[in-house]
A and B are shown apart, each in its own frame.
Chain A
Amino acid sequence: MCDNHHNEPFKPHLPDLDQLQKGLDRRNFLTRTAMGLGSIALGTLLGKSLFGNTLGQLSSPKPSEDLEAEILRALPHFAPKAKRVVYLFMSGGPSQFETFDYKPKLVNMFGQPLPDSVRQGQRLTSMSSNQSILPVVPSFCKFNQRGQSQTWVSELLPHTAEVIDELCLIKSIHSEAINHDPAITFFQTGNQLPGRPSIGSWVSYGLGTDNENLPSFIVLVSKNAVKDQPLYARLWGNGFLPSEYQGVQFRAGKDPVLFLDNPEGYDGADRREMLDYLSALNKYQNEVNKDPEVEARIAQYEMAYRMQTSVPEVMNISEEPDEVFELYGPDSRDPGTYAANCILARKLLEKDVKFVQLYHQGWDHHGGLPAGITGQCKATDQPTAALIKDLKRRGLLEDTLVIWGGEFGRTVYSQGKLFPNNYGRDHHPRCFTMWMAGAGVKPGISYGETDDFSYNIVKDPVHVHDFQATLMHLMGIDHERFTYKYQGRRFRLTDVHGTVVKNILS
């Protein structure tokens, strides 16, 4: 071993770092050149357009960092009801007709064209807009009234029906986008175009962490799903927020986070020392060029170090009793399945991870819907209900908000040829059903109504931004006051929209 040199303060003597020391970064460069232009302007007396404005901006007393600090200091804006969120995202657009939105009058209309008075010329996707007829198709499954609330639930969801009195169904959610990518991006970031931070990133950035040893925003994607529509990391991305607030995806399977184990032959004893030295090196560089990415990288190294112990602990399901696996269903012993992810989500919530998001793909049933949705429900119904039951008995539903839903609903008419036992449904953003349960939400209610075709909303519409505003409200955030300034504009999750749905709050 060499001497104890790394206890000495770090002094670089590399020519590469000399360059950095000069500090000629973009900001400095622009400031200096702008000053130069300013003095030229002074000399030529070109009036206020150069004179007043340029100098005025340079001496602007309020850098945006202070603004951000002020906004963060004000959080939370009021006492939150929810301490954690688990968002079960059903990607692809689950049909409301086969799940929660019971439309008995359709039974007598099998195969009849969708009346123009209902459609009102509204846009269709290009997948069904050239169909000669838009035949109405009733749901193939039976509905029953369940729970004390006597809520209609599809026979495909027998387990969810058992917890229906815990759920707050929103039957009148509506979106603006009609295709998957913009619709899911809209739901997760408040904007149809990529680039904005996801809900989990906003929450994580605004409220910080309740457990230093785990990321505050964790994403789990089911491995046992039909991968009909892709998911991409930007759905849980940080957008323009600092990188350490992006969602951390745990891989489906035994090893959820790669490279957490020490390499062979290394016992990890001096890792702390190594990280301290690396951190000093990074901080030294960052004093010069102030790159927020370097700060994010330092935070991530530290998090990875802590996760070396915290992740194996939380992933260890050997101590879970058989009764738990029975509750979550047969898939739950197979890591990476939706059921196993639900158990994992419960364990992460127990550890006070603030935002856990599950994704389960395969709900995009343009054709073969009866078989497709039966399979989807089979894979998700029992684990979802089990998660509710498990959180409830453990007392975690007190302060955990559970959300279930997709990016849009499906049409009342069949896409493609309609058979008595087989049909498909196209995308329908104008109304669909999602539910919330737990902290701060009224249990056992249905909110909003659709018409007899579940085509238009007739009562209490809830826009995606309204849902987002409500979610933020439950976390103690006034969505209008929580902004982040980027490229000269203040952004927020709900852009300039959104109203908290007060009637579903308990």
Chain B
Amino acid sequence: MILLDITTYLGHLHPLIVHLPIGFLLLAVLFELLSYVKRYEYLKPAVSFALLLGFISAVFACIFGYMLSLSGDYDLLNLANHKITGIAVAVVSGLLFLCTTTAFRNKISISRWLFSSFFIGLFFLMTYTGHQGGNLTHGSDYLSLKTLRQRELKKPSSVDEALLFEDVVQPLLAKRCSQCHNEGKMKGELSVQTLQGLLKGGKSRPAVVGGKLHESELYERITLDPSNKKYMPADGKTPLTKEETAIIKWWIEKGMAMSGVKIADLKNGDEIKPRVAVFLGLGDGGEIADNSGIAVNPDIPKSFNQNLLDSLRNKGVHVRLMSHNPVMLDITMPAGSGDKLGIIKSNLRAVAKNVIWLNLSNNKLTENDLDFLPLMTNLEKLRLEKNPVADGISSQIVGLQHLEAVNLNETKITRACTEKLKQMPNLKRVYTWKTLAE
């Protein structure tokens, strides 16, 4: 097993070693051509030595390259190409070196021009080999005119026009995954470059199955724990962001893993629009909807002042965060702390629009203490039970459009108050236990 590990290890050194022959041979070509210029004639004798170094390192690169090829992650056709041309580079550089030795020169003499033209040939051969190698690692369209043209052409101008797979999912996968999973280098026998490749999947099973999130290996792999061996992207490469994962999830689950569909034509496409907008750089996406599907009052502010919250908490008020975006607060004044209302009123006014639930029960408060209530325009539930509030309270709350429930148990209200509250269209429940209005 150790032997095998050494092979793999040395194989991984191939991309490193391979730059040595490139450097040496380029230098040899450069020296050879420059030596035509009188000023650089003195470089001529160095060509032979550079060729020798290039030849030796090319041989090593070939050996290591062969070891790497044993890993089986690469497309066979491209690999064969690269292998033959790579060996050719080594052989040609070796032969050229022989041409420079005195022993050889004594037997056969070739013209300097012919010799130089071989050099130029070597240069092109090496360039071609290098490009093949690059294709194996990065994919055949990594460095091609086609990619250049594609990128120029495509760029949807609006979210509605964008094609979910072609404009969003595919580029996303290209960015994060196709370095290893392309047509040239199919790690795990998977290529993410085309929909066909994804549907076919890798070694074990399809990477995506339309509508079936948990049968889609792609989704499973990118949502595993990062320390898991099977987590993707592997080897500490940049992971997908939460938003990118959410897009893929939506595409598989709701978009049925299809291609060629515009966002505008998708059922429930609105759900994914904000995330797509962010991905395409078309605006900040506004509020990214939660998957809970709960409708939220749009008037509630998205942000708030954290200092105010801390200040309220320091003054003994219990503040519960009900939602982060928008910021929804549930504020409770502990029973028997009504005398502190004076010092917290200004804070309450400042966060008024964020208060969704408010509990002021059992605090000896009257309606005159509650002059801040009309500011809490997004309030949905209000608890005022066990306070000496009287009918006047109705004028404080009658303007609260979102109020659903108000608890006036054990207060001094009468029917006059409840009659007035009946005008409120959204108020569904008024608690009047142990009052004259009961």
Q: Which A residues are within 8 Å of any B CB, using their own CB? A: 45-49, 51, 56-57, 60, 62, 74, 76-80, 83, 210-211, 352, 393-395, 398-399, 473, 476, 478, 485, 488-490, 496, 502
Contact = CB atoms under 8 A, between A and B. Distances in A.
B292 A395 contact: no
A490 B296 CA distance: 31
Contact of A79 (B8, B225, B296, B405): B296
Main secondary structure of the interface of B (DSSP, over half): mixed
Given A47-B9, A49-B5, A394-B433, A60 B322 contact: no
Main secondary structure of the interface of A (DSSP, over half): loop
B236 A56 contact: yes
Nearest to B1: A49
B401 interface: no
A210 B318 contact: yes
Nearest to A59: B236
Interface stretch (B125-133, B279-287, B323-331, B365-373): B323-331
A210 B332 contact: yes
B291 interface: yes
B323 A79 contact: yes
A74 B9 contact: no
Contacts of A56: 236
B236 A46 contact: no
A168 B12 CA distance: 63
Contact of B291 (A80, A211, A478): A478
Given A49-B5, A210-B332, A489 B292 contact: no
Contact of B294 (A57, A79, A83, A210): A79
B262 to A, nearest CB: 28
A77 B9 contact: no
A394 B431 contact: yes
A57 B236 CA distance: 11
Nearest to B325: A78
A481 B177 CA distance: 24
B332 A352 contact: yes
A48 B12 contact: yes
22 contacts: A46-B5, A47-B9, A48-B12, A56-B236, A60-B227, A62-B226, A76-B322, A76-B324, A78-B290, A78-B294, A83-B320, A83-B330, A83-B357, A210-B318, A210-B320, A211-B318, A394-B385, A395-B407, A398-B381, A398-B405, A398-B407, A476-B322
Give the 5 A-B residue pairs with the shortest CB-CB distance, closest first.
A47-B5, A395-B407, A78-B292, A395-B431, A47-B9
Nearest to A78: B292
B340 interface: no
Given A74-B324, A79-B356, A395-B383, A490 B8 contact: no
B103 interface: no
A476 B320 CA distance: 12
Nearest to A49: B5
A126 B433 CA distance: 53
Contacts of B330: 83
Contact of B385 (A60, A395, A502): A395
A47 to B, nearest CB: 3
B46 interface: no
A48 B8 contact: yes
Contacts of A211: 318
B191 interface: no
A24 B294 CA distance: 51
B27 to A, nearest CB: 30
Greatest chain B CB density within 10 A among A78, A80, A210, A393 is at: A78
B415 interface: no
A393 B433 contact: yes
Interface in B384-426: 385, 405, 407, 409
A253 B150 CA distance: 78
Contacts of B332: 210, 352
Contacts of B431: 393-395
Nearest to B324: A74
Interface string B278-322: 000000000000111110100000000000000000000010111
B381 to A, nearest CB: 6
B148 interface: no
B429 interface: yes
B6 interface: yes
Contacts of B214: 496
A54 to B, nearest CB: 13
Greatest chain B CB density within 10 A among A352, A395, A398, A490 is at: A395
B9 A48 contact: yes
Contacts of B8: 47-48
Contacts of B12: 48
Contacts of A80: 322
Contacts of A398: 381, 405, 407, 429
A488 B328 CA distance: 35
Given A78-B290, A395-B407, A473-B292, A489 B9 contact: no
B2 interface: yes
A210 B318 CA distance: 7
A56 B407 CA distance: 59
Given A393-B433, A395-B407, A398-B407, 14 more contacts: A51-B9, A62-B226, A74-B324, A77-B290, A79-B323, A83-B320, A83-B330, A211-B318, A394-B431, A395-B405, A395-B433, A399-B357, A473-B292, A490-B225
A476 B290 CA distance: 11
Given A46-B5, A210-B320, A352-B332, A485 B225 contact: yes
Nearest to A83: B330
Contacts of B383: 395
A352 B291 CA distance: 28
Nearest to A211: B318
B83 to A, nearest CB: 23
A365 B293 CA distance: 42
A106 B225 CA distance: 52
A476 B323 contact: yes
A395 B360 CA distance: 13
Contacts of A79: 294, 296, 322-323, 328, 356
A210 B335 CA distance: 13
Nearest to B433: A393
B29 to A, nearest CB: 35
A267 B433 CA distance: 41
Interface string B224-241: 011100000000100000
A147 to B, nearest CB: 18
A62 B5 CA distance: 28
Interface string B1-17: 01001101100100000
Given A79-B323, A393-B433, A489 B5 contact: no
A502 B294 CA distance: 11
Given A76-B321, A78-B323, A46 B2 contact: yes
A25 to B, nearest CB: 21
Contacts of B385: 394-395
Contacts of A476: 322-323
